[in-house]
Structure 1
């Protein structure tokens, strides 16, 4: 039933040709009129003010290191001493940015007669991101694990056999900032990421602030790759590019968790998408019954370069490697679509992946220990994972009926079943994508949806693995509505502290009420200056009398 619902939500194009009755998306939308440009300015400023409030709140309500250097910093240290105000500022900023993103969606939803230009979307994303570049980490403390484990590598020790506290010492400033649960845990990250981290540690040393900023540079590089790849993939799969950027890059989950939270998923997803785009960029669009054109040398080198980038993404987070399978599907269809061609393409992707990953591993000098620590995150039981949640519910029932507490066995069994289901879903989706039931990018996105549904551990930013690729797939109105609602809710319920509110839960009611009052007053200011809802559907042919997007100012 769930699989059928997912297939209904995502509707991809068969092959590489646009559906009948549609025009190329880059030619259809019109530029915004004067009223809509004024509305865009209101949305931009509202979101930018929210970004500034979030930045200020992060100085006192963020995931600060154990030894917080801001406490002794003039002016900036004030926010850490007024935690209720800082929390209220962070809550206000989060809510304002989510609202601004939702309003912006009214100007980019497929089916509108007029839509934002790419330049307008890029400027909006930059305005909302710049205030958050220099702020402390928020929503997660993972960046401290990155720094500590990179320091382990920089000191010549094996991060895949020893934890940060044991390697660096319990009094080391980097190790002390790592959450207690992870201080003795070997690194679960790929060799490429830790190799880059070793260079960061070589520059920053034990300076936490410099290290965080350099890690954020990596996250911004990843975001840049995402923004570069999304519109190109969207055009390939007949989705308006600005709509793809809105849902896949301007999404508050991306800004909050990949930029502010400094997660290495930004680099991994960026490399995966960039590699996918490079690999298919020279593959011809072949319609049903069209002759198969001869191969060109440029096609071969583009595929090799793209597969290499995807494998590099796997060197950051191994999940990125699944994209190789869907690139292989497109290559097999390019070769004519027979079973021998499918096996040949699969073998080619396997060889490239193994060779490139071997080169990365050997060059890093870290060995193959990373294969043994891929399940490092599974030591926690998170209710966000449906599989783990069901298992914990079963454990609770067992305790209720006095059958004993068998939590490890129950959760382990449930997770094993989840992995089997995930593998089976991959085989099915690869085959259905190969058969043309939906596009390769839609298949990749759905496969990563199943990772979120059946994976053993789910964090608030994990759904981005599926949301960002699916932003480029031909998606139904209902799918985009669900993704919008889901993204907004998850963005708002994740605490900016990067942990629970232990010891400061009393701040939440006051801060939340203050945030609601402030945002409510600002809503009164912008009332009547925002775009109205319009009918949402698929992109249709533009009347010949309409004004083209390329004319006039872009705003």
Structure 2
């Protein structure tokens, strides 16, 4: 006799936890100047809007920790809903939810860091015709500019470390905002929000022929509250680079000119996105040599048509700080466990060794991932070449992120876009754990405004706990690459079995239990 049990309400958990996460983060941002939110000065009639409530660093930290836990719970529940075929949302409702979240978050001050203020300072300097790679924000115009002077510690005396395309986008936002800090921040937030939605649209188009794969992109990107918090509400330029890069991958097999322009813009935004150019080459590698040469040649010329003028505009000092940046080791990185022990003995020379060793280990991990993912299913419906690019982009981005000595939570956006195109594996959980740990490690976010107790807890977790947890993620990924179980067989067996709400309405007479996901038979 068969028994009937109630199907877990994964979709309900996904929706409710995700909404609560977004609302909590929005609440912290709306409260205004705090240990998580850099103040934007006097209120104005236009966004970014806040209430200037002056929340304590302890309350802000608790709210953000709870939000992070809810966000991770939402992602897990969403993935389980996709696996159990209970993720029956219509594309229209998903679009409404995503756009609503982005509109809300872009109307509020960014939280989690003060990076956006540095972006706008560099853009303000560039828009005025000066060189942000030479002049630092604190000295430009004797520190009297209302936008450039708002840069927060410890970045007031740091010149730009970003590519010329990033600087051009920053200059656009600064120019649109005029001399108003709030208006400039709002325009920057709009650009980040639009970039996030462009990535969501691109992923949706790539997977539109596979309902299960499409739903997976909704969970891992479009409705992912952790990513919404990091790159939209956080206002980080990484999402703009991801939009360029994932667009290039979507078009590379068929439209080399457009793809070349986009990958050139991605590399000119952040140089690490050159990894996506390598992914494109990997995906095209099986073409006949004459055809491959023509295709790559066209893409290269299109990319150079972006990069050459951009670098001529930005000048010879664009990458002056690149070497200095390569020696940095972030507090939450596993490499910190090594440098903290060896720096007192050998001095700063240890960091000169860490960078090349990390690159070598990253390259090895990329090779392991490429081998492991060689025949891995994807939701890509635009051809095997694009699928191969997605696998390679994921492998390259993951190898770099897990091994780089300097990494922050919003950097992970470059992994989550290609991850959303792959069939599920253990890596979903490992990378979610990594993102959650990094998000928690950088609560509340600023280096000022914390009470002594909050600072002790925050830095204690960041320096003493997070590196070990991140190391555990690295070990998990490496072990997984060396194992050979088929952990996506269920995906291959049941691909396409999810129906959206619209498709369910058109399907022939489902039972009540099937229609409303209230029961199943063992």
1:161 aligns with 2:134: yes
Give the secondary-structure state (helix, strand or coil) at the position aligned to 1:180: coil
Does the CA-based 8 Å contact 1:52-1:132 persist in structure 2?
no
In 2: Cα distance, 1:407 partner to 1:236 partner: 56
Give the 3 Å change call, closer, same or farther, for CA 182–492 of structure 1 in structure 2: closer
1:311 aligns with 2:285: no
Give the secondary-structure state (helix, strand or coil) at the position aligned to 1:461: helix
The one of 392, 398, 402 aligned to 1:453 = 402
1:418 aligns with 2:367: no
Task: Give the number of equivalent residue pairs.
Answer: 458
The one of 477, 495, 502 aligned to 2:443 = 495
Question: Counterpart of 2:349?
Answer: 409
Question: Counterpart of 2:82?
Answer: 108
Per the TM alignment, residue 449 of structure 1 is displaced from its structure 2 partner at its CA by 1.1
Question: Counterpart of 2:150?
Answer: 177
In 2: Cα distance, 1:258 partner to 1:141 partner: 13
Does the CA-based 8 Å contact 1:192-1:312 persist in structure 2?
yes
Q: Which stretch of the first structure deviates more once superposed, 481-490 or 467-476?
A: 481-490
The one of 127, 136, 159 aligned to 1:186 = 159
Question: Counterpart of 1:524?
Answer: none
Per the TM alignment, residue 443 of structure 1 is displaced from its structure 2 partner at its CA by 1.5
1:463 aligns with 2:412: yes
Question: Counterpart of 1:320?
Answer: 273
Give the 3 Å change call, closer, same or farther, for CA 376–508 of structure 1 in structure 2: closer
Does the CA-based 8 Å contact 2:401-2:412 persist in structure 1?
yes
After superposition, residues 296-445 of structure 1 pair within 5 angstroms as 299=254, 302-333=255-286, 335-336=287-288, 349-362=299-312, 365-375=313-323, 377-378=325-326, 380-395=328-343, 399=344, 404=345, 406-422=346-362, 428=367, 439-445=388-394
Question: Counterpart of 1:134?
Answer: 107
Does the CA-based 8 Å contact 2:133-2:318 persist in structure 1?
yes
Deviation readout 1:335-386 (Å, 9 max, x if unpaired): 24x6x76666655544443333113334xx2224323333453464313333
Per the TM alignment, residue 411 of structure 1 is displaced from its structure 2 partner at its CA by 0.9
Give the 3 Å change call, closer, same or farther, for CA 78–418 of structure 1 in structure 2: closer
Question: Counterpart of 2:22?
Answer: 51
Give the 3 Å change call, closer, same or farther, for CA 415–499 of structure 1 in structure 2: same
Greater relative contact order (CA < 8 Å, ≥ 6 in sequence)? 1
Give the 3 Å change call, closer, same or farther, for CA 431–342 of structure 1 in structure 2: farther
Per the TM alignment, residue 392 of structure 1 is displaced from its structure 2 partner at its CA by 3.0
Give the 3 Å change call, closer, same or farther, for CA 102–419 of structure 1 in structure 2: closer
In 1: Cα distance, 2:118 partner to 2:94 partner: 34
TM-score (structure 2 length as normaliser): 0.75
The one of 242, 253, 271 aligned to 2:215 = 242
Per the TM alignment, residue 240 of structure 1 is displaced from its structure 2 partner at its CA by 0.9
Give the 3 Å change call, closer, same or farther, for CA 199–506 of structure 1 in structure 2: closer
Does the CA-based 8 Å contact 1:332-1:345 persist in structure 2?
no
Per the TM alignment, residue 53 of structure 1 is displaced from its structure 2 partner at its CA by 2.9
In 1: Cα distance, 2:36 partner to 2:44 partner: 14
Question: Counterpart of 1:29?
Answer: none
Per the TM alignment, residue 100 of structure 1 is displaced from its structure 2 partner at its CA by 3.3
TM-score (structure 1 length as normaliser): 0.71
In 2: Cα distance, 1:307 partner to 1:440 partner: 14
Give the 3 Å change call, closer, same or farther, for CA 108–154 of structure 1 in structure 2: same
In 2: Cα distance, 1:221 partner to 1:191 partner: 20
Does the CA-based 8 Å contact 1:112-1:539 persist in structure 2?
no
In 1: Cα distance, 2:202 partner to 2:373 partner: 22
Per the TM alignment, residue 409 of structure 1 is displaced from its structure 2 partner at its CA by 0.4
In 1: Cα distance, 2:453 partner to 2:182 partner: 27
Per the TM alignment, residue 122 of structure 1 is displaced from its structure 2 partner at its CA by 3.2
In 2: Cα distance, 1:432 partner to 1:77 partner: 52
In 2: Cα distance, 1:424 partner to 1:38 partner: 41
Give the 3 Å change call, closer, same or farther, for CA 429–90 of structure 1 in structure 2: closer
Deviation readout 1:181-227 (Å, 9 max, x if unpaired): 32222211121221222222222233221111111111112101210
In 2: Cα distance, 1:173 partner to 1:549 partner: 51
Per the TM alignment, residue 37 of structure 1 is displaced from its structure 2 partner at its CA by 12
